[in-house]
Structure 1
Amino acid sequence: MTSQHKAYVFGLSAVLAWSTVASAFKLSLAHLSPAQLVLYASVFSLLSLLAILGWQGRLATLPAALRQHWRRSAILGAVNPFAYYLILFQAYDLLPAQEAQAINYTWALTMTLLAVPVLGQRLKLQDSLAALVCYSGVLTIATRGAPLALNFSNLSGVGFALLSTLLWAGYWLFNAKDEREPVMGLTLNFLLSLPLTLLWCAATGELTPVAWQGIAGAAYVGALEMGFTFVLWLSAMKLTSSTARIANLIFLSPMLSLVLISALLGEAILPSTLTGLALILGGLLLQKLPIPGLRTARA
């Protein structure tokens, strides 16, 4: 098997795993509060990341990395996993899975828009048009097909979903200059965010016994979505001869996710969700396409 073939295997495995998480979030939140899911999923994610470091023979380097990078790790850990997943799970708790997961896919565009004030980059006309298409998709989903009426199905849930994209995009922008090795950096983030999550759950009275179904769901979410899948995707990006080929695999995930949401959760997929998701994916594709004139024109 060539390196490119291995990259496809790793990339497709990651996409398949990510397509299950919307259903896993909703099933877990039937037994856990958003904060409890963050807590238990973070524990399992940390265990999976430590296991990966052990398999790589790098576990002994963790104390030195912690001493060197504890400040950055504490700050980034407060964003991801603590704040990001707390808000994302709140969105999933308030919205149908099909709506929350579709809105969450706008984070890539949010990162482009956020790069303007954070990195001082100039906004291109193509990015502005892509944003218009993407967020018209969000509006279609949020109003369930009646965007002109502005009658939101759950305004708080939509707000949490959009805020989660802002946090996730901001995390990756600031992470771009991170000198830490990615797996080690993520391990340190989870390690230092865990006390923060414990304190939050203690302050909100959520350190209570939970059902085994909730623990099982948190184990799946933490080990797979937060931990192991990240390593699969990172491996795919390192092995590929074309980053774009692997990056484009992510467009398979939302449709697979909708199939699983319908099958596992019994949600009837609304026409407004399909229309809105098509607009969101169309906007993301528009942002990537090499369109003469648009790519260099400024908004």
Structure 2
Amino acid sequence: MTNQKQAMLYGLATVLLWSTVATAFKLSLRELSPVQMLVIACAASVIVMATILVVQGRWHLVFSLSRKQYLQSMGLGLINPCLYYFVLFGAFDRLPAQEAQPLNYTWALVLAYMSVPFLGQRLRRLDIIAGLICYGGVVVIATRGDVLSLSFSDPLGVGLAIGSTLIWASYWIIATRDTRDPVVGLFLNFLCGLPVIAVICGVTDGYDIVPGAAFGAAIYVGVFEMGVAFVLWSYAMKKAENTSRVSNLIFISPFLSLVFISLILEEVILPSTYVGLVLIVAGLWLQQRKVRERVSQVEGA
């Protein structure tokens, strides 16, 4: 099997996992609060990433970092998982999955905009057009199709969903200077963030958690969304001979996610969700087009 085929398989596996997490979020949040769900998911993620590092023979890298890098782990851990997932789970707690999930996908566009002042990148006219299309889709979903009224179904929930994209984009901008091994870095971030989440959970909602479907869904989120998916996507990028082809797979995820939301959560998917999602994906595709063209030219050189 060629490296490109392996990369596509890793990419498809990642997309499949990403497509299930919105459903898992809602299943868990039926019985757990966002912070209770987060402490379970984060603990599961720490265990699975530690296991991956041991199996890969890279556990020693955890102890080979500088003091500055360990301090960096503590700082990044406060952003991801602490702040990011708390805000994201808060959005899913208030909104239907079919609304929260597409809104979260706009983080890639937010990253492009934030890269202008913080990374010195140039804002293209295409980025502005893509933004208008993308956020047009956000308005369609958030108002459930009643665009002219600008009356959001849940203003706080929508605000949390949009806020999560700002936090996630900020995290990746800060992480551009991160020289740690990616899996080691993520493991340490979650390891440092876990005690903070545990304390917050203890003093707020407590640990009156009954093992059941919601508990299992939180573990699923920690193992697959926070752990395995990240590793699989890293493999896909490393194996890819043409990364743009692999990257295009992410556009399957939001549509496949609606299938799981409809079948498992039994949410009736509104026409406005389909319209808004198409606009969001179209905007993201347009925004990424020039980037993919440049990558393809470099890889084909």
**Residue 173 (structure 1) shift:** 1.2
**Separation in structure 1 between the aligned mates of residue 175 and residue 60 of structure 2, nearest angstrom:** 24
The equivalent residue for 1:289 is 289
2:225 maps to amino acid: E
Confirm or deny: 8 A CA contact 1:74 1:193 kept in the other structure: yes
Confirm or deny: 8 A CA contact 1:140 1:273 kept in the other structure: yes
Confirm or deny: 8 A CA contact 2:33 2:205 kept in the other structure: no
TM-aligned CA distance change 1:67 to 1:205, over 3 Å: same
For 1:159-170, what aligned pairs fall within 5 Å after superposition? 159-170=159-170
Identity in percent: 51
The equivalent residue for 2:144 is 144
**Separation in structure 2 between the aligned mates of residue 278 and residue 288 of structure 1, nearest angstrom:** 15
* Number of residue pairs matched by the alignment: 291
1:199 maps onto 2:199 in alignment = yes
1:59 maps onto 2:51 in alignment = no
The equivalent residue for 2:263 is 263
For 1:1-299, what aligned pairs fall within 5 Å after superposition? 1-65=1-65, 67=67, 69-290=69-290
1:109 maps to amino acid: L
TM-aligned CA distance change 1:205 to 1:264, over 3 Å: closer
**Separation in structure 2 between the aligned mates of residue 191 and residue 65 of structure 1, nearest angstrom:** 15
**Separation in structure 1 between the aligned mates of residue 258 and residue 133 of structure 2, nearest angstrom:** 21
Confirm or deny: 8 A CA contact 2:80 2:189 kept in the other structure: yes
2:287 maps to amino acid: Q
**Residue 212 (structure 1) shift:** 2.5
TM-aligned CA distance change 1:208 to 1:63, over 3 Å: farther
1:268 maps to amino acid: V
TM-aligned CA distance change 1:212 to 1:131, over 3 Å: same
**Separation in structure 2 between the aligned mates of residue 188 and residue 290 of structure 1, nearest angstrom:** 34
Confirm or deny: 8 A CA contact 2:23 2:97 kept in the other structure: yes
TM-aligned CA distance change 1:30 to 1:66, over 3 Å: farther
Aligned-residue CA RMSD (Å)? 1.4
Confirm or deny: 8 A CA contact 1:18 1:253 kept in the other structure: yes
1:88 maps to amino acid: L
**Residue 127 (structure 1) shift:** 0.3
2:32 maps to amino acid: L
Q: Which runs of 5+ in 2 are unaligned?
A: 292-301
**Separation in structure 1 between the aligned mates of residue 68 and residue 119 of structure 2, nearest angstrom:** 25
Helix, strand or coil for the counterpart of 1:257? helix
CA displacement 1:28-62 (0-9 Å, x = unmatched): 11121000111000000000000000001122332
Q: TM-score, length-normalised on structure 2?
A: 0.94
1:289 maps to amino acid: R
Helix, strand or coil for the counterpart of 1:65? coil
1:195 maps to amino acid: P
**Residue 67 (structure 1) shift:** 4.6
**Separation in structure 2 between the aligned mates of residue 20 and residue 70 of structure 1, nearest angstrom:** 33
TM-aligned CA distance change 1:23 to 1:279, over 3 Å: same
TM-aligned CA distance change 1:68 to 1:53, over 3 Å: farther
2:175 maps to amino acid: N
TM-aligned CA distance change 1:94 to 1:66, over 3 Å: farther
**Separation in structure 2 between the aligned mates of residue 209 and residue 135 of structure 1, nearest angstrom:** 38
| Bigger Cα displacement from structure 2, 63-72 vs 100-109 | 63-72
**Separation in structure 2 between the aligned mates of residue 180 and residue 290 of structure 1, nearest angstrom:** 29
Confirm or deny: 8 A CA contact 1:111 1:173 kept in the other structure: yes
2:25 maps to amino acid: F
**Separation in structure 2 between the aligned mates of residue 244 and residue 60 of structure 1, nearest angstrom:** 33
**Separation in structure 2 between the aligned mates of residue 243 and residue 250 of structure 1, nearest angstrom:** 12
Q: Which runs of 5+ in 1 are unaligned?
A: 292-299
Confirm or deny: 8 A CA contact 1:115 1:173 kept in the other structure: yes
The equivalent residue for 1:296 is none
